Amino acid sequence: MSYLDQKHRNRLIKKASWVGIVGNTILAIAKILVGFISGSLAVIGDGIDTATDILTYFITLFAAKIMNKPPNFKFPYGYNRAEAVATKALSFVIFFAGAQLFYTSLLRLINNETTEIPALLAIYVTVFSILSKAGLALYQFKIGKKIESNMVIANAKNMRNDILISASVLVGLIFTHVLHLPILDSITALAVSLWIMKAGFEIFMETSRELMDGTDNPELYYKIFDLVEQVGAVNPHRVRIRKHSNMYTVALDIEMDGKLSIEQGHQMAKKVENIIKEKLENVYDVLVHVEPKGNEEKEKFGLSRGNIDDECGKKKKRNAK
């Protein structure tokens, strides 16, 4: 098994966080100031969204510090789930920023508040924002994929969304100058707010699966079934995969000839553990329970090959419809 040292991984998360904090601070100040000077509500809204990004990076910085703590009696699996909790918090911050902008923009349209046509300076700062956000997004994606961090990738997606948001602001500003309709700036701000809320909701849904000990990749289970059978064990079942940050813990039951010794059962369990750790990336621990062949018990948790086949079959039928 090959994976980055966790301390080194946390250092990279902190580095990515500080790059995001500095970069977004500069952009937020520039956009909010230019928005007020040029009279563009959309640019101000874009600047507020960038300001919330500063907070999100402080959240990742704090989460990285917590993740360094060793396991204890309260958290025997350690503190790596802090990454998923922090990502969940990011989704709320992003959604709230979008909701606030939506409310402000909607009131402005309902009250028919008149504004002057934004100055060309608003267009220049928006172009600068798009280029800067593109650089930040590429950097965050690179680090996030390297260390397999959903939290850093969530921030990268937020940066990518900001590129589209700034692009929509740019389109609104250009049409405002071409058509001389300042109301288009307010309508663009409304569209921007909806996009921000959508991004927050999507990040919220992505983190729910990990916090509920789930995975969206059935192939992991199939690989475990195949690996167990390769070493001579039969009927791998009650398989449970938990994700803690970028690491997996796997628990499963296998069956063997009941006449074999405890020592032989232990050796088979070690074979199962070793091959899963060897062939699957980022597996931290494997717990194997050995049962005699033909043993039947009512089992509430875990999956077998039949469970996966049935569920995937139903999903394919739903997608076909």
- The tens digit of pLDDT for each residue in 71-110 reads 888 888 888 888 888 888 888 877 887 787 788 778 877 8
Contact 287/239 with Cβ under 8 angstroms? no
Per the listing, tokens 């983190």 go with: 207
The stretch 236-253 carries a mean pLDDT of: 88
Contact 36/28 with Cβ under 8 angstroms? no
pTM higher than the cut 0.75: no
Measured in degrees and rounded to the nearest 5, phi and psi for residue 305 equal -60, -40
Measured in degrees and rounded to the nearest 5, phi and psi for residue 213 equal 60, 40
User: What does the buried/exposed string (b/e) look like for 131-149 if buried means 16 or more CB atoms within 10 Å of the residue's CB?
Assistant: ebbeebbebbbebbeebbb
- The tens digit of pLDDT for each residue in 103-147 reads 877 887 787 655 544 566 777 777 888 888 889 889 999 998 888
The stretch 219-242 carries a mean pLDDT of: 89
Share of the chain above pLDDT 70, in %: 84
- DSSP annotation of 303: B
Question: Poorest-confidence range of 12-26, 204-218, 260-274, 277-291?
Answer: 204-218
Mean pLDDT of the chain: 80
Q: Hey, what domains does the chain have and what are their CATH numbers?
A: 6-211 (1.20.1510.10), 219-320 (3.30.70.1350)
Contact 102/197 with Cβ under 8 angstroms? yes
